Amino acid sequence: MGAEGLRVGLISDTHGLMRPEALAALAATDHIVHAGDIGDPAILDALGRIAPLTAIRGNNDTEAWARRLADERTVELGGVRVHVVHDLATLQAPPRGVRVVVSGHSHVPRVREEGGVLYVNPGSAGPRRFKLPVSVAHLAIARGQASARLLALDVAPPKQRPRR
C-alpha cells in the first residue's frame, strides 16, 4: 500500500483474451479483482504475477479449472469491504458493511454511488463487443473511503470485413 492508499485494479470479462494493454493498466496496483468470465486460467496466473488477486467465476467460466472459484466473494481491502459478483442483477442487496460492489457481465463500464455503496463495472477487457469500449478500472482506497475511475484501453479497432 502506497502513501496515498491502496490501489486496486478492476478487470472483468476477459473471455480468454489477456490484452497487454490491460496488463499495463493494472501494473502499478496493490491488488487486482477479476469479476468473472475469465475464460482461461492463464489469465489468473498473469494477473497474480502483478499483485494479489481476488477472482470469481462468471457465467461463461464452466470448465473444470473454474470450479475452485466462488460465484461471489467479499474481501476487505484497505479497511473497506468489497463485494465481487459477476452479474449485478443476481445481487438482491449488498452484504452488510459492504462499501464497494464490483461486477461485470454487461461489458458496459460504469461507476455510480447509491445508498452509500459504490458500484463499479470495469467493462470488458477481452474481445470487443459491439461498439463498447475495451476497459478496466482503478479503485483507490484511502482512510476508509473508496473512489473509482474507468480506463478505456487504447486497443486497435476491430477489423472491418470487406463488403461484398
Please check whether residue 136 is in contact with residue 10, taking contact to mean a CB–CB distance below 8 angstroms: yes
In the chain, what is the greatest distance between 2 CA atoms, to the nearest angstrom?
Answer: 59
151: exposed, middle or buried (Cβ count in 10 Å: 0-12, 13-18, 19+): buried
Q: Which helix (H) or strand (E) holds 26?
A: helix 20-26
36 grid coordinates: 468473472
What tens digit of pLDDT does each residue of 44-96 get? Answer: 999 999 999 999 999 999 999 999 999 999 999 999 999 999 999 999 999 99
pTM of the model: 0.92
Mean predicted lDDT score pLDDT of the chain: 93
For residue 102, the SS3 value is strand
Sequence-separated contacts (24+) of 129-133 with Cβ below 8 Å: 132/107, 132/108, 133/109
CATH topology of domain 6-152: Purple Acid Phosphatase; chain A, domain 2 (3.60.21)
Q: Which residues contact 157 (CB under 8 A, 6 or more apart)?
A: none
